[in-house]
Structure 1
Amino acid sequence: MNVNFLAAIMILALTGAFLPVINRIFRISGILGAIIASAGYVLSGFLVLLSEKGGTILSNFFVSDGVTQLLGLLILVASWMTMLVVYWVTEKDKFVNELIGALLISTAGALLLISATNFVSLVIAMELMTMPTYLMVLFAFDERSIEAGVKYFFNGALAIGTMLFGISLLYAVTGSFEFKVLAKELFKDPLVLLGAVLIFAGFAFKITAFPFHFWGPDVYEGTCPGVAALLTGITKSAAFIALMRVIYEALPAVSENFTFILALLAAITMTVGNLLALAQKKVSRILAYSSVAHAGYTLIAFAALSVPLSVTGILYHSAAYVFMKTAAFLCFAVFLFVWGAKTMDDYKGLGRREPVLAVLFLIFLLSLAGVPPMAGFISKVFVFAAAVDAGMTWLALVGLINSAFSVAYYIWIAKQMFLEEPTLERPVNAPSNKKFIVVPLAVMAAFLIVLGIWLGPVVNVSHLFALQVGF
């Protein structure tokens, strides 16, 4: 059993669980809560770094390999930076420590999810990741957040219920929940195909893929932007990795029957996401529909599952996505807190008001658009190359066209910030420690630039995983 990886998850989860208790007993300040949470992140990251590659956890329920180590570290860094921004934005709220605690527990669930090798452990990890976010979506507790919370809860329940139904059908056929056993014992049977469809549908809800994307923009707009950053970046990247394990480790033979369907879903998802993003006026909804489009880009790699390069595409896009989408929403959160900027008109001239923050936001937007040398560009190169290698050049072309569409609304935001005259005269809030908030965003920008130049870590891990699953 890999004690280090399990200990990292337990420390993170227990820190999150006891932080509200400590706050209730000792009435600690928000800054002390952020320090305690940061200590939990640092210790968990150190243990993940020391975890053994190839070790099993809890009798093959979870595994610690290169994927869990690399993506686990990236998720921890992204979540830590998210926590710092969330604390900064909600410092004066009396429930800020409860919000930070829920974030820690959800991140622990994300670490479990990317390491799950059994359908029982996968469902448990997914619920551990999702349950705290139900509370987080309701954090503002106003009319819009309550509506978002209700939508998110019922769609989340529908997703996990659909997935459980599919898993039960596979168990009825094989008598096992373990991925490796399922891969050996599954055979062509209507129940197997139906079970796989239901499991894929459950994941489609989680990653906001068409036609299960409709809840995403409403929830992301209705909740706090810091919470939306967690939902769109960290939890979706973890769901991508979990789906990758299911497809390549549990259902490889069955998944081959769905390549065209996955390709079609990828094309429709990114097209719908980009077209709807172009029609939006609110920056939060632009970023939300952009998240739908990026689910489509990742599905291109899933559709190309017959070639090993698809693994690299999935891993690289997940690694880049966890930073660029999370950070983009965090920038929106800061602009909203300081200037009350919600619509495109509000962003006019903000590059002059907040030059450093605006430049960081531009970096994240360029990475989302796939502009070199950002990690978003490299991830799209691998995704489209995988489609070409798999004989689906048409899908790669659709992806390229959609990437061109997406540049329009990303550059539109940049134009409003840097080339227009300011419309907002005074900030809504003028915190004295404004310079502090640049640090976590700059860390995320640095990761995106490094991942866009230094390809070795993700590529090497993807090659090892491809060999592990039989390529």
Structure 2
Amino acid sequence: MNINFLAAVMILALTGAFLPVINRVFRISGILGAIISSIGYVVSLFLVIISDQGRSILNSFFVTDDVSRLIGGMVLVASWMTMLVIYWITEKDKFVNELIGALMISTAGALLLISAENFVSLIIAMELMTMPTYLMVLFAFDDTSLEAGVKYFFNGALAVGFMLFGISLLYGMTGSFEFAALAKNLFKDPLVALAAVFIFAGFGFKLTAFPFHFWGPDVYDGTCPGVAALLTGISKSAAFIGLMRVIYEAIPVISKEFTLILAVIAAVTMTVGNLLALAQKRVSRILAFSSVAHAGYTLVAFAALSVPVSVTGILYHSVAYVFMKTAAFLCFAVFLFIWGARTMDDYKGLGRREPLLAALFLIFLLSLAGVPPMAGFISKVFVFTAAVDAGMTWLALIGLLNSAFSVAYYIWIAKQMYLEEPTLDKPINDSPKKNFVLIPLAVMAVLLIVLGIWLTPVLNASAVYAAKVGF
């Protein structure tokens, strides 16, 4: 790992760890906490950008390459913008600095996860990313968030339990924690294959892939929407990259049956996610089941791992997803804070009441639906192209049908905002500073549009990684 990248992780984690302490000692305001956090984010982002310079350490545990720099930068920007929105929504809460601190520590774990080079560093990074979110889910401390917290804790424990059991089996059979040990011994001993199944089951929980998706919508709907933005966008994008490193470095193209299993899981995941999203009345649950569907889209690229364009599909979808899903939940959070809007009926006429916020929400919805020129469209092009190139045209067709089908509920939200008469009379929290919250959302909207036109950064990173894994 490059020492600058490690310094970025340490600065982010230490800023998050000491922010609640500073708050307790000096009784700082929420805005001062946001300023201190922003300094930590800016310094960390700068260090990630220059992490191609300087010496390397811990090379057997973590790697710093074009993928970790690209995704790390995007994760930091998305987390920074999330912090600003969360601060604006929860400014008057006395625990806001604790919440922001937990967000920063979790983001530091995400940076380590995208750099993990063996199973020990992978599980440590994943737990560093996950542990703070257990507290964050409970932030509201009402009955709904308590239920969400219990479900999230037990399913998170189940996920790490599966992974640890698989890793222990692998170590017992091979004596190694390296990714390559799995590939060398997968078909030599049935227990190694069983270890692979448990490891991927753990990832299935993290990604809310079928049949491990059942906890996701309840947790995303029950917790604070700002926390849901972290769980659905930032954490899952980091988990996509962690799984990519495991699959491409631990299990290269050695089994047609393995790719077929991934293809079936991808097809079922996106279909189930879209069908259940269409049946929802609460916007948060629509976005939650949409998150399940997008896990399926990404798994399409994983299933096509025999072709190099699959790497591009995974990276592009991870980059687009971290912004469009995070920002969509943040828009929902702002609408909920200002208007108390939860259901589809509540969104009627909000396009007239909040024209700028509604326009930004529409951009994120269109990107999720895969409408050009958004990054979400380009990512789906690469994902489905990978499936066709790998000889799985049937999977690409299922993906295209699901993508077209998903437009229905995204457009449904837009219809409610722009074509219906308002049902909510007046805001429940109207602030003269509310236009400030549009700035972080606008930053993510601009990045989605830019990344939908400027493909070079992702294409270059994917080409380097594809060459590294033997394409």
Q: Is this a same-fold pair by TM over 0.5?
A: yes
CA distance in structure 2 between the aligned counterparts of 1:449 and 1:56, rounded to whole angstroms: 35
CA distance in structure 1 between the aligned counterparts of 2:202 and 2:254, rounded to whole angstroms: 16
Equivalent position of 2:455 in the other structure: 455
Equivalent position of 1:418 in the other structure: 418
Equivalent position of 2:30 in the other structure: 30
1:125 to 1:144, Cα distance in 2 relative to 1, 3 A: same
Q: Residues 255-404 of structure 1: matches in 2 within 5 Å?
A: 256-404=256-404
* Structure 2 letter corresponding to 1:140: A
Q: Residues 2-151 of structure 1: matches in 2 within 5 Å?
A: 2-52=2-52, 57-151=57-151
CA distance in structure 1 between the aligned counterparts of 2:190 and 2:181, rounded to whole angstroms: 19
Alpha-carbon shift at residue 183 of structure 1 (Å):
3.9
CA distance in structure 2 between the aligned counterparts of 1:261 and 1:236, rounded to whole angstroms: 21
* Structure 2 letter corresponding to 1:209: A
- Whether the 8 Å contact between 1:193 and 1:254 is mirrored in structure 2 is no
CA distance in structure 2 between the aligned counterparts of 1:57 and 1:226, rounded to whole angstroms: 35
Confirm or deny that 1:153 pairs with 2:153.
Answer: yes
Equivalenced residue count is: 471
* Structure 1 letter corresponding to 2:313: G
Deviations along 1:88-140, whole A, 9 cap, x unmatched? 00000000000000000000000000000010000000000000000000000
Alpha-carbon shift at residue 55 of structure 1 (Å):
7.1
* Structure 2 letter corresponding to 1:47: L
* Structure 2 letter corresponding to 1:389: D
CA distance in structure 1 between the aligned counterparts of 2:53 and 2:340, rounded to whole angstroms: 46
CA distance in structure 2 between the aligned counterparts of 1:55 and 1:321, rounded to whole angstroms: 32
1:53 to 1:178, Cα distance in 2 relative to 1, 3 A: farther
Structure 2 counterpart SS, 1:34:
helix
Equivalent position of 2:195 in the other structure: 195
TM-score (normalizing by structure 2): 0.98
Alpha-carbon shift at residue 192 of structure 1 (Å):
1.6
Alpha-carbon shift at residue 173 of structure 1 (Å):
2.0
Equivalent position of 2:213 in the other structure: 213
Alpha-carbon shift at residue 185 of structure 1 (Å):
5.4
Structure 2 counterpart SS, 1:63:
coil
Alpha-carbon shift at residue 56 of structure 1 (Å):
5.0
Alpha-carbon shift at residue 57 of structure 1 (Å):
3.7
CA distance in structure 2 between the aligned counterparts of 1:462 and 1:362, rounded to whole angstroms: 29
1:48 to 1:326, Cα distance in 2 relative to 1, 3 A: same
- Whether the 8 Å contact between 1:12 and 1:105 is mirrored in structure 2 is yes
- Whether the 8 Å contact between 1:55 and 1:64 is mirrored in structure 2 is no
Structure 1 counterpart SS, 2:391:
coil
- Whether the 8 Å contact between 2:173 and 2:191 is mirrored in structure 1 is yes
Deviations along 1:301-337, whole A, 9 cap, x unmatched? 0000011110000000000000000000000000000
CA distance in structure 2 between the aligned counterparts of 1:41 and 1:180, rounded to whole angstroms: 34
1:283 to 1:53, Cα distance in 2 relative to 1, 3 A: farther
Alpha-carbon shift at residue 214 of structure 1 (Å):
0.3
Alpha-carbon shift at residue 242 of structure 1 (Å):
0.1
CA distance in structure 2 between the aligned counterparts of 1:380 and 1:55, rounded to whole angstroms: 37
TM-score (normalizing by structure 1): 0.98
Equivalent position of 1:250 in the other structure: 250
Deviations along 1:159-212, whole A, 9 cap, x unmatched? 000011111111122211122454445543211211111111100000000000
* Structure 1 letter corresponding to 2:68: T
Deviations along 1:402-457, whole A, 9 cap, x unmatched? 00110000000000001111111100101121110010000000010001000110
Worse-superposed segment, 46-55 or 378-387: 46-55
- Whether the 8 Å contact between 1:162 and 1:201 is mirrored in structure 2 is yes
CA distance in structure 2 between the aligned counterparts of 1:460 and 1:375, rounded to whole angstroms: 16
CA distance in structure 1 between the aligned counterparts of 2:310 and 2:193, rounded to whole angstroms: 22
CA distance in structure 2 between the aligned counterparts of 1:83 and 1:256, rounded to whole angstroms: 43
CA distance in structure 1 between the aligned counterparts of 2:332 and 2:25, rounded to whole angstroms: 34
* Structure 2 letter corresponding to 1:410: Y
CA distance in structure 2 between the aligned counterparts of 1:54 and 1:374, rounded to whole angstroms: 35
- Whether the 8 Å contact between 2:19 and 2:97 is mirrored in structure 1 is yes
Deviations along 1:247-303, whole A, 9 cap, x unmatched? 001222566541011000000000000000000000000000000000000000000
1:345 to 1:55, Cα distance in 2 relative to 1, 3 A: farther
CA distance in structure 2 between the aligned counterparts of 1:36 and 1:387, rounded to whole angstroms: 45
Confirm or deny that 1:407 pairs with 2:393.
Answer: no
* Structure 1 letter corresponding to 2:77: V
- Whether the 8 Å contact between 2:114 and 2:242 is mirrored in structure 1 is yes
1:93 to 1:254, Cα distance in 2 relative to 1, 3 A: farther
CA distance in structure 2 between the aligned counterparts of 1:191 and 1:102, rounded to whole angstroms: 38
Alpha-carbon shift at residue 27 of structure 1 (Å):
0.5
Deviations along 1:349-398, whole A, 9 cap, x unmatched? 00000000000000000000000000000000000000000000000000
- Whether the 8 Å contact between 1:13 and 1:108 is mirrored in structure 2 is yes
CA distance in structure 2 between the aligned counterparts of 1:181 and 1:393, rounded to whole angstroms: 32
Structure 1 counterpart SS, 2:63:
strand
Query: Among the aligned pairs, what percent are the same residue?
Result: 81
* Structure 1 letter corresponding to 2:277: A
RMSD: 1.2
Structure 1 counterpart SS, 2:365:
helix
- Whether the 8 Å contact between 2:182 and 2:192 is mirrored in structure 1 is no
Worse-superposed segment, 184-193 or 172-181: 184-193
* Structure 1 letter corresponding to 2:285: R
Q: Which runs of 5+ in 2 are unaligned?
A: none
CA distance in structure 1 between the aligned counterparts of 2:332 and 2:186, rounded to whole angstroms: 46
CA distance in structure 1 between the aligned counterparts of 2:38 and 2:61, rounded to whole angstroms: 28
Alpha-carbon shift at residue 54 of structure 1 (Å):
11
- Whether the 8 Å contact between 1:68 and 1:115 is mirrored in structure 2 is yes
Alpha-carbon shift at residue 146 of structure 1 (Å):
0.4
* Structure 1 letter corresponding to 2:201: A
